[in-house]
Amino acid sequence: MAEVQKQAEKPRLISETDMSKYKAAGDIVNEVMKKLVTLCVEEAKIIDLCIEGDKLIEEGTGAVYNKAVKGVKVSKGIAFPTCISVNNAVAHFSPLASDTLASQALAKDDVVKLHIGAHIDGFAAISAETIVVGASEQDPATGRRADVLKAAWHAAEVAMRLMKVGNKNWAVSDAVAQVATAWDCKPVEGMLSCQQSQNVIDGKKRIILNPTEAQRRDTETVTFAEDEVYGVDILVSSGEDGKARIEDSRTSIYQKEGAVTYQLKMKNSRAVFSEMQKKAGPFPINIRVLEDEKRARLGLQEAVSHGLVKPYEVVYTPANTYVAAFHFTIALPPAGPLMITHPPVWYKPELVKSEKELEDGELKGLLAKSLRETKKKKKVETAGASPEAK
User: Does residue 184 sit in the same domain as residue 290?
Assistant: no
Residue ranges with strand state E in the chain: 76-86, 111-120, 123-132, 186-187, 192-196, 206-208, 229-237, 245-246, 253-256, 285-286, 309-311, 315-316, 323-331, 338-339
> Mean pLDDT, to the nearest integer, of 335-362?
97
Whether 241 and 186 have beta carbons less than 8 Å apart is answered as yes
User: Does residue 262 sit in the same domain as residue 166?
Assistant: no
In a domain, 383, yes or no: no
User: Does residue 215 sit in the same domain as residue 138?
Assistant: yes
User: Does residue 258 sit in the same domain as residue 301?
Assistant: yes
In a domain, 349, yes or no: yes
The last residue of a domain, from among 312, 327, 343: 312
User: Does residue 95 sit in the same domain as residue 222?
Assistant: yes
Q: Compute the distance between CA of residue 175 and CA of residue 267 in angstroms, rounded to an integer.
A: 49
The last residue of a domain, from among 270, 286, 312: 312
- Count how many domains the chain has: 2
Q: Compute the distance between CA of residue 155 and CA of residue 152 in angstroms, rounded to an integer.
A: 5
Q: Compute the distance between CA of residue 184 and CA of residue 186 in angstroms, rounded to an integer.
A: 7
User: Does residue 281 sit in the same domain as residue 319?
Assistant: no
In a domain, 378, yes or no: no
User: Does residue 198 sit in the same domain as residue 286?
Assistant: no
Contacts of 139 (CB under 8 A, 6+ apart): none
User: HSE on the CB side for 84, CA within 13 Å?
Assistant: 28
In a domain, 149, yes or no: yes
User: Does residue 147 sit in the same domain as residue 65?
Assistant: yes
Q: Which amino acid is at 216?
A: R
Q: What CATH number does the domain containing 303 carry? A: 1.10.10.10
pLDDT above 80 (res 7): no
In a domain, 6, yes or no: no
User: Does residue 294 sit in the same domain as residue 319?
Assistant: no
Q: Compute the distance between CA of residue 27 and CA of residue 128 in angstroms, rounded to an integer.
A: 14
| Model pLDDT for residues 53-95, shown as the tens digit of each residue | 999 999 999 999 999 888 899 999 999 999 999 999 999 999 9
Q: Compute the distance between CA of residue 36 and CA of residue 33 in angstroms, rounded to an integer.
A: 5
The last residue of a domain, from among 273, 296, 312: 312
> Mean pLDDT, to the nearest integer, of 335-346?
96
In a domain, 390, yes or no: no
| Model pLDDT for residues 103-148, shown as the tens digit of each residue | 999 999 999 999 999 999 999 999 999 999 999 999 999 999 999 9
Q: Compute the distance between CA of residue 244 and CA of residue 150 in angstroms, rounded to an integer.
A: 20
In a domain, 173, yes or no: yes
Note the pLDDT of residue 376: 54
Secondary structure (3-state) at 195: strand
pLDDT above 60 (res 232): yes
Note the pLDDT of residue 372: 86
Cα torsion for 246, 180, 191, 95, to the nearest 10°? 50
Owning domain of residue 144: 16-251+313-368
Q: What CATH number does the domain containing 46 carry? A: 3.90.230.10
The model's pTM is 0.92
Please report, for residues 46, 233, 332, the alpha-carbon distance to residue 329 in angstroms, rounded to integers and kept in the order given. Answer: 25, 9, 10
User: Does residue 287 sit in the same domain as residue 303?
Assistant: yes
Note the pLDDT of residue 249: 87
Residue burial 84-112, b: 16+ Cβ < 10 Å; e: rest: bbbbbbbbbbbbbeebeeeebebeebbbb
User: Does residue 225 sit in the same domain as residue 259?
Assistant: no
In a domain, 55, yes or no: yes
Mean pLDDT of the chain: 93
User: Does residue 200 sit in the same domain as residue 294?
Assistant: no
